[in-house]
Every structure is written in C-alpha cells, then in structure tokens.
C-alpha cells in the first residue's frame, strides 16, 4: 500500500562558499518539490562568533516520503555539498532541516517533527511565510525579522 502524499516543508541554509549554489544542490536532493520561498540573508543564530551571514530558504513538498526519508535526502545533500559536522551550530556549506511533514509528529533522537525550534527562528518563519502564511500566523515578531533581508530567488 502506497503512503499518502502529505504537504511537507524543509528548511535549507548555507553560510560557507557559494551559498546560493549549495542551496540549489540541496533542492535537487529533495523529492516532490512544488514550491520554494524567496532566499533571505540572515544573521547566524548560536554557534561560534564571527560566522558569515547565512542564505536561508524553505522548500514545500507534496510527497509520500516519510519524515525519515526526507531527513536522509537532506543528509545526502549535505554530504554532496561537503558538509562537516565539526562544531555544533558552526558554519556549514549546507544545512537541511525537516520542518513539517503533514500533521505527523516524530520524536526520535536524531529527528523531531515538527522541528522543535522552528517557531523561535525568524530565518525559518520568514521564508515559511512566503509559502504557508497560515502556518506562521502571528508567531513572526518584529524582533525575529531584524537582521533578515531579501537576497533573491532561485
């Protein structure tokens, strides 16, 4: 029996090298992309000081892939982009996070859906609002928008 298709959202970010190219690579690994947000330049959140600014975006999928399959696709994209996991919240060529997969809830050591910090991060909510403003609602504050600027489109 085939799994039902669900609306899913995946966040992508990069702050090393050709950031826009890495975002494009990340999209090629995601199944069933139906829309992408605009690309935003954002201040780093957490991690070591002195990091470069990020490019962030969100992809919308209409897919029967499980949350685990989406995580694995994201990890393949990160590996193809030369992602190193040396420093927690450190600089990276590509970061891919599963944000939402329909109404599923997943609570596993390496995968939590909905993403547990999604609603605290302007760099997620601003691009998510491009695609699904009904999911963002009034969660996006002026303080969260600070330091976020439109960088373009893919």
Q: Let me know if 83 is a catalytic residue.
A: yes
Among the listed residues 68, 92, 121, 130, the single catalytic one is 92
Q: Let me know if 95 is a catalytic residue.
A: yes
Q: What is the pLDDT of residues 90-145, one digit of tens each?
A: 789 999 999 999 999 999 999 999 999 999 999 999 999 999 999 999 999 999 99
Residue 1 belongs to some domain of the structure? no
Half-sphere exposure of 78 (CA within 13 A, CB side): 21
Q: Flag whether pLDDT at 89 surpasses 80.
A: no
Residue 100 belongs to some domain of the structure? yes
Residue 66 belongs to some domain of the structure? yes
CA gap 6, 123 in Å, rounded: 23
Range of the structural domain that residue 77 is part of: 6-152
CA dihedral 17, 46, 53, 35 (to 10 degrees): 80
Q: Let me know if 103 is a catalytic residue.
A: no
**Whole-prediction pTM:** 0.93
CATH of the domain at 68: 3.30.70.560
Among the listed residues 6, 19, 83, 121, the single catalytic one is 83
* Residue 49, pLDDT score: 82
**Domain total in the chain:** 1
Q: Which residues 6+ apart lie within 8 Å of 49 measured at CB?
A: none
Residue 44 belongs to some domain of the structure? yes
* Residue 21, pLDDT score: 97
Q: What is the pLDDT of residues 44-77, one digit of tens each?
A: 887 788 889 999 999 999 999 999 999 999 999 9
Q: Which residues 6+ apart lie within 8 Å of 1 measured at CB?
A: none
User: Count of residues for the chain?
Assistant: 154
């Amino acid at each position: 029996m085939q799994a039902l298709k669900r609306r899913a959202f995946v966040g992508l970010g990069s702050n090393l090298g050709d950031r826009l190219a890495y975002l494009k690579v990340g999209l090629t690994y995601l199944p069933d992309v139906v829309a992408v947000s605009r690309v935003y330049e954002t201040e780093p959140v957490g991690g070591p000081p002195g990091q470069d600014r990020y490019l962030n975006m969100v992809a919308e999928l209409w897919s029967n892939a499980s949350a685990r399959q989406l995580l694995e696709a994201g990890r393949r994209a990160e590996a193809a982009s030369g992602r190193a996991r040396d420093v927690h919240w450190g600089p990276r060529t590509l970061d891919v996070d599963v944000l939402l997969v329909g109404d599923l809830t997943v609570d596993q050591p390496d995968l939590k859906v909905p993403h547990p910090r999604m609603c605290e991060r302007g760099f997620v909510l601003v691009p998510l609002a491009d695609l699904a403003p009904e999911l963002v609602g009034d969660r996006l504050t002026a303080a969260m928008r600070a330091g976020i600027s439109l960088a373009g489109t893919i």
